[in-house]
């Protein structure tokens, strides 16, 4: 996981934190705007980088609790500085961790937000399973990623389809759109966790397709 911090730690990390705080600000704000949660919600920001999104979430949810994970020591320091008052007030909790192993229990969060980091998750399957696990039933998630960052390793449409498929396997129904941002188009995947609904649907389908219960055979009408 720590190899994931390459480019986000050391002097390069410090320089990129400053650039990202400026260039990705609109994406972090847009991701926070996508969330429809109660003011008291607990929200996890994955790959918080310089902490601009954490700050936006903390302002939007004054009675909520914002948690964040990022494996980079530099990002941890920069984001902690940016959110110092909220961290000290216990309203923001930041930890050094990757999306592949989220250090909170099942269903802890009402929502999860990840901006410009899903393309770094390794393996992607594990990170998505972790995000689904840590989000409560009925909760929501927003993944927003630069299209160009995804296209560095392959076609964006296939990447989006794979994410949506994997999330569907965890009971997360999603929609995907592309929106313009300051530094280029961003892919917005919005999801809602519907495990109970999916379970109920499966049960209904099973009832409808099950053979009728065995009972006394209907007698053929007589002559
Ligand atoms: C491109 S930056 C984006 C930062 C910020 N969200 C933004 O848009 O400005 C990616 C961030 O994800 C973090 N990261 C890398 N691998 C990660 C992983 N496996 N899980 C969570 N975060 C990761 C990096 O340390 C870095 O801070």
Q: Containing domain of residue 25, as a range?
A: 10-208
Structural domain contains residue 36: yes
Q: Can you give the pLDDT at residue 9? A: 94
Structural domain contains residue 221: no
Q: Can you give the pLDDT at residue 217? A: 55
Q: Can you give the pLDDT at residue 218? A: 47
Structural domain contains residue 218: no
pLDDT digits (tens, 9 = 90+) for 200-211: 777 888 888 888
Distance CA 97, CA 2 (A): 9
- Write out residues in the chain with pLDDT < 70, as ranges: 1-4, 215-223
Q: Distance, CA 117 to ligand 1 centroid (Å)?
A: 5
Structural domain contains residue 186: yes
| Nearest CA owner, ligand 1 atom 26 | 49
Q: Can you give the pLDDT at residue 112? A: 98
160 lines ligand 1 (CB under 6 A): no
pTM of model > 0.85: yes
Q: Can you give the pLDDT at residue 164? A: 98
List CB contacts of 5: < 8 A, sequence separation 6 or more: 13, 71, 72, 73
| Nearest CA owner, ligand 1 atom 18 | 98
Structural domain contains residue 223: no
What is the best residue among 1, 23, 28, 47 to mutate for testing ligand 1's pocket, by most ligand atoms within 8 Å of CB? 47
Structural domain contains residue 220: no
User: CATH code at 112?
Assistant: 3.40.50.150
């Amino acid at each position: 996981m720590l190899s994931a911090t390459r480019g986000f730690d050391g002097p390069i990390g410090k320089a990129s934190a400053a650039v990202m705080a400026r260039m990705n600000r609109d994406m972090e704000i847009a991701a926070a705007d996508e969330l429809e949660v109660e003011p008291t919600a607990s929200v996890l920001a994955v790959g918080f980088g310089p902490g601009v999104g954490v700050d936006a979430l903390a302002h939007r949810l004054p009675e909520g609790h914002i948690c964040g994970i990022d494996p980079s020591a530099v990002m941890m320091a920069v984001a902690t500085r940016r959110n110092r008052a909220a961290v000290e007030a216990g309203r923001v909790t930041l930890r050094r961790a990757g999306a592949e192993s989220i250090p909170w229990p099942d269903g802890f969060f009402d929502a999860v937000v990840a901006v410009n980091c899903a393309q770094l998750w390794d393996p992607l399957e594990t990170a998505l399973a972790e995000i689904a696990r840590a989000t409560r039933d009925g909760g929501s998630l927003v993944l927003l990623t630069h299209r160009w960052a995804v296209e560095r390793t392959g076609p964006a449409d296939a990447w989006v389809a794979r994410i949506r498929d994997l999330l569907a396997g965890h009971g997360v129904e999603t929609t995907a759109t592309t929106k313009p941002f300051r530094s280029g188009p961003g892919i917005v995947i919005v999801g809602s966790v519907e495990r109970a609904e999916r379970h109920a649907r499966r049960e209904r389908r099973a009832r409808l397709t099950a053979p009728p219960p065995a009972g006394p055979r209907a007698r053929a009408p007589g002559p």
